[in-house]
Structure 1
Amino acid sequence: MAAAGGSEFLVDAAIYLGATTVAVPIFKKLKLGTILGFLAAGVLFGPHALGLLSSGDGVSQIAELGVVLFLFVIGLELSAPRLWSLKRTIFGLGLLQMLVTGTCIGFAFETFGWLPRGPAFIAGFALACSSTAFALSLLEERGELNTPFGTKAFSVLLFQDIAVIPLLAAIPFVARGQSGEEGASMDPLVIVQAIGALILLILVGRFLLNRYFRLVAVSGSREAFTAAALFVVAATALLLAEAGLSMALGAFLAGVLLAESSFKHQIEADIEPFRELLLGLFFIGVGMQLDLGVMLANWWIVLLGAAALIIFKGGVLYLLVRMFGSKHTEALKVGGVLSQGGEFGFVVFSLGVGRGIFDNEFATISSSVITLSMVATPLIMMALSRVRTKTSVPTPDAPEDEEGEVLVVGYGRVGQIVTQILRGSKVSVTAIDNDPVRIETARAFGAKVFYGDGTDMHLLVGAGATRANAVVFAIDDAKVVAPAVAALRERCPKVKIIVSAYDRLHEMELMDEEIDIIIRETFESAVLMAKRTLGFLGLSDGMIGEIEAEFRDRDRDRLMAQKAGDHHSGQERLDEPFHARTKHKKAEKHERREELVPEDA
């Protein structure tokens, strides 16, 4: 779409954003996923349909940052304990799936003369990858992510995410070979530069990154922390790009190096909006490159290709999962949910066209095959929905000797005590706090505490709110608790929520929210102090218990009346003696009166 001067960028931006707000909600409503929504928007508004956007080249470099951020977040999720707990399925089942599927498809492309050897195997391994976003969102929507087959599917996807890094890194070398620059790929200086960049990145990540984020976090500026996260991604991507490697590889390694950092969840939450928007922009660009004329002219190839991909990938996965000891139903579902092509296929074919290893027709047909296989996946899972999955398994991160999982938001006076008791009770506890000094001290004692804004829903989800049995809010800032609780309840309707209220007014405010338990911060300690004082004054435990119960009833009645608008309710009863105490006084008077009566009266 033509536009004068600098306004062209604004026109394109408006169309991109408008297309996103129209197409994505429709596809999400149809449970087809946001990726297909972005692709549909690109096809519809691109040069081969309505023509509102004439070319995807203008945004391709910006959109590629979406892929970089995506891989950075994948790296953040690859902590050592998680990898170790799933090592057999990740590096056994996942590796075999990629090798068998990618090699067979690549061999077919070369054998039938569709591609030379190098590009053939790049394309084969690209099609061997499934859609991480698509498959995981399907499993989460259906509540099957933590079932046995869901865990195996996740493990395969995890290995595919790892395998994509060398696949992307191989594209420039294959491109040099195709253009007759074989010697360039073996230049010793290039290899030395690449190894040096990797070593430098690992050293910086190991010894400086965590300190850098701690320094920024101490400033208390959320904007500065977000800028720091984006800077790290951009700098690491640029470092490896200058060394002749993939930008995505640099971002991925930076994520892995920060996977054990106390700042990982806040980093992920800050990057999430940029990642989603830029990745969406990338998929819109991919959709714009899909030539509808080529698709329609080769519709039978697209249809047969999608069917062949689904049947072959699903069949390979079924056989491999059975080899790893799973039953028929589990293997069938793993094959079904991972039978589609993935978003990395779009990435590889788009980059391949840019590097000259694929022509536009082949990339368009291949991307169309992936798109059609994605559309078919929800239908396949609906057909398999009658195959019931048996018992759920614990989430991979939870040790076997721990019972339940709790997220504690706020690691101050209250949060620390709650966490200590839960840890001693063999409960898996993750805590969130915004004081980097306090976090560093807590982690030195073995506590699993992460830096971040505990009211940010992206961060809470990343920290495990969606799989937690309970979430405890122990935040000192009273005004931010109610909105955070409301957002959490909307996202996680079944989770138990326990909240520490700052004072009486705060408790009345929280009563409007769907909270399971509200504990007024000073109330319980004050009641305990009063009970101990009454004990020193000689009252019996039974008497003290009756007084406590009556006081709690009075306070609850007064709180409910004040919540209803009667702010002075119950004032007249503040000095009224408790019934238990009055009854005791009467009994004492009666005993003294009996003592004064002579025995012979």
Structure 2
Amino acid sequence: MDTSGFSLVQAVVLLAAATVAVPLFRRLGLGSVLGYLAAGLAVGPFGLGLISSPETLLHTAELGVVMFLFIIGLEMRPAKLWTLRRQIFGLGVAQVATCGILLTLVATAAGVSFPVAVVGAMGFVLSSTAVIMQLLQEQGETTSAEGQRSISILLLEDLAIVPLLALVALWGALANPADANTAPFWQSAAIAVIGLAALLIAGHWLLDPFFRIIARTGAREVLTAAALLVVLGSAVFMQSVGLSMAMGAFVAGVLLAESNFRHQLEADIEPFRGILLGLFFLSVGMSLNLQIVAGEWRMVLGGVIVFMLVKGLGIYAVARLTRTTHATAMQRTALFAQGGEFAFVLYAAATAAGIFDGRASAIMSAIVIISMALTPIVLLVQAKMRRGALITDLSGIDKADGLRGQVLCIGFGRFAQVASQALLAQRVELSVIESNVDMIRSAANFGFKVHYGDGTRLDVLRASGAETAEVIVVCVDNPETANRIVELCQSAFPMTKLYVRSYDRGHSLRLIKAGVAFQLRETFESALVFSKAVLTGLGFEEEQARDAINEVRQRDAERLELELIGGLERGRLFVRGNLAAPEPLPLFKPRPKSKE
């Protein structure tokens, strides 16, 4: 076989290996990531030897991680990302710093020199974005609260590669003064900040008009090419200013999160993302040097066990100190206890700078790869332990299974408890599911039959009777969870009417655009009733107070319609002249107080 480059025959070998291994590992409950790693190991230079140059494939397959981060960015609206700033720079910094210090101390105690210990430890601290995001997506956890915290930590780790590479370059320059021709750190940092600002400005002002122009051509393939251009162009630009390609793709995705072309872009990128991400895991599996593992098995095995245990201890400690529950802290520990793909970048830079020799680099890379391969297994064990604890917690509570009702209610908080009373009074067949065990037990004390079930899982929705229900009522507290349920129901049960509790005006607009049958902001009507009572208490006539409230309701509906039409107009593929911005509508016209 020709091994001088990546040939078509090698592509067939990789596709065949993935096609066999991934379904098998998923059937065994081990996940697709471990399947890809095993397939890569089998066909790589240290397995059957069908492919002898995994490094070439690895550089190409990194584009899968880039596109994955772009897809994640599309789900992270700028306002939502801003709300995560404390988790990114608080929780993320705390976890990276704590684990880095602990692992450095362990490596130093083992007799490793300080520079090698720091670089080796920090490379292992940077968890695998590809593995974690793939697992979160498979579990449907990317939009959950804990999923958002995990993404925040990953973003900070992505940013941390910049100062770490600068630190490696600085140590290399100090060790080899004759070769110290690299730019100073402050200059590199300034270039990175200016480059990031330039990408943000260009993305804010140019991306949406750019895609609008492309869409007017009506050529679907050109729109796909434009999407790839934006993703890869942003990634290459960020890499040129010293940041990671993944960061560039993520920023581009965030900038397009509010775009009217978001769903189209996601559909265009998804096939490329899936294939290239699979190739990335295959190439990582091929890179595992079995000769080093066999020759240095004590050091490799000890490094994997000690590094994962110490890093897990640091993650758990930070999670508990930030008031996270034991179960959630254990889940985060299992998810982040491995090394990641950025370790290969850092170790390569350390080798080039003379900090690592070939043996140290191979051993550390083997430790990272084995830890990545163990992550699905660790998560599987942790999930079984968690399910065992859940069985105890769910004693006396019925799970959602085989439910059949005219109406399916998802969530049974204060809002749903009030909304369901009229339905029950009219003897409507009502099935209710809720994921909060305490809420289920509390409802049982008042005679409500509520089943345990997570509405963001399609299998639970089917078991709850969503396929046969005439109406699905979504009454959950979290808007992101509500959006996820709406997307699942519209995709799997398009003929079922959706009535959704809305969080605020922005959430209402998104629900209307999504095409739900009815939405209502949770506090809107109660606030109107409250203000009407205040008016009558001040001496206004009942009719005056009622008219004022009706005018507020009407003007709010008009304002909502104008905002909706404005958003649709910005996304049209043609221009109908200049639209003037509507005048702001007052809440209501003041009425004179009645004279006695």
TM-score by length of 1: 0.61
Q: How many residue pairs were aligned?
A: 435
Partner of 1:163: 157
Residue identity in the other structure for 2:266: E
The separation in 1 between residues aligned to 2:347 and 2:36, in whole angstroms, is 17
Shift in Å at residue 39 of structure 1?
1.6
Partner of 2:145: 151
Shift in Å at residue 95 of structure 1?
3.0
**Per-residue displacement from partner, 1:297-334 (whole Å, max 9, x unpaired)?**
33333333333344333333333333233443443344
Shift in Å at residue 418 of structure 1?
9.6
The answer to whether the 8 Å contact 2:65/2:130 transfers is: no
Partner of 2:216: 218
Query: What is the alpha-carbon root mean square deviation over aligned residues?
Result: 4.4
Cα 1:126–1:46 shift into 2, 3 Å: same
Cα 1:252–1:262 shift into 2, 3 Å: same
Cα 1:182–1:31 shift into 2, 3 Å: farther
Shift in Å at residue 87 of structure 1?
5.0
Shift in Å at residue 377 of structure 1?
2.6
The separation in 2 between residues aligned to 1:333 and 1:408, in whole angstroms, is 25
Residue identity in the other structure for 2:486: V
The separation in 1 between residues aligned to 2:184 and 2:163, in whole angstroms, is 14
Residue identity in the other structure for 1:2: D
The separation in 1 between residues aligned to 2:498 and 2:455, in whole angstroms, is 23
The separation in 1 between residues aligned to 2:263 and 2:148, in whole angstroms, is 20
Cα 1:375–1:401 shift into 2, 3 Å: closer
Partner of 1:375: 377
Partner of 1:583: none
Residue 201 in structure 1 maps to residue 206 in structure 2: no
How do residues 100-179 of structure 1 correspond to structure 2 at under 5 angstroms?
100-110=98-108, 112-114=110-112, 116-117=114-115, 120-131=117-128, 134-135=131-132, 151-152=145-146, 154-167=148-161, 170-171=164-165, 174-175=168-169, 177-178=171-172
Which residue of 13, 16, 26 corresponds with 2:14? 16
The separation in 2 between residues aligned to 1:340 and 1:268, in whole angstroms, is 29
Shift in Å at residue 409 of structure 1?
11
The answer to whether the 8 Å contact 1:193/1:243 transfers is: yes
Which residue of 246, 249, 255 corresponds with 1:248? 246
Percent of paired sites with the same residue: 35
Partner of 1:431: 513
The answer to whether the 8 Å contact 1:46/1:52 transfers is: yes
The separation in 2 between residues aligned to 1:104 and 1:379, in whole angstroms, is 25
The answer to whether the 8 Å contact 2:21/2:36 transfers is: yes
Cα 1:369–1:356 shift into 2, 3 Å: farther
Cα 1:137–1:9 shift into 2, 3 Å: closer
Shift in Å at residue 50 of structure 1?
0.8
Shift in Å at residue 193 of structure 1?
4.7
Cα 1:68–1:138 shift into 2, 3 Å: closer
Residue identity in the other structure for 1:406: V
Residue identity in the other structure for 1:48: F
Cα 1:381–1:229 shift into 2, 3 Å: same
The answer to whether the 8 Å contact 1:76/1:256 transfers is: yes
How do residues 224-263 of structure 1 correspond to structure 2 at under 5 angstroms?
224-263=222-261
Partner of 2:34: 36
The separation in 1 between residues aligned to 2:512 and 2:122, in whole angstroms, is 37
The separation in 1 between residues aligned to 2:154 and 2:480, in whole angstroms, is 27
The unaligned stretches of length 5 or more in structure 1 are: 434-440, 453-601
The separation in 2 between residues aligned to 1:401 and 1:140, in whole angstroms, is 14
TM-score by length of 2: 0.61
Residue identity in the other structure for 1:431: K
Shift in Å at residue 167 of structure 1?
0.9
The separation in 2 between residues aligned to 1:163 and 1:59, in whole angstroms, is 24
Shift in Å at residue 207 of structure 1?
0.8
Shift in Å at residue 228 of structure 1?
0.4
Partner of 2:2: 2
The unaligned stretches of length 5 or more in structure 2 are: 395-434, 437-453, 457-475, 516-560, 573-596
Secondary structure of the residue that 2:155 maps to in structure 1? helix
Partner of 2:420: none
Shift in Å at residue 248 of structure 1?
3.2
Deviates more, 1:325-334 or 1:56-65: 325-334
How do residues 201-600 of structure 1 correspond to structure 2 at under 5 angstroms?
201-345=199-343, 348-349=346-347, 358=356, 359-388=361-390, 391-392=435-436, 398-399=478-479, 406-407=486-487, 429=511, 431=513, 445=565
Shift in Å at residue 443 of structure 1?
5.8
Cα 1:369–1:231 shift into 2, 3 Å: same
The answer to whether the 8 Å contact 1:64/1:278 transfers is: yes
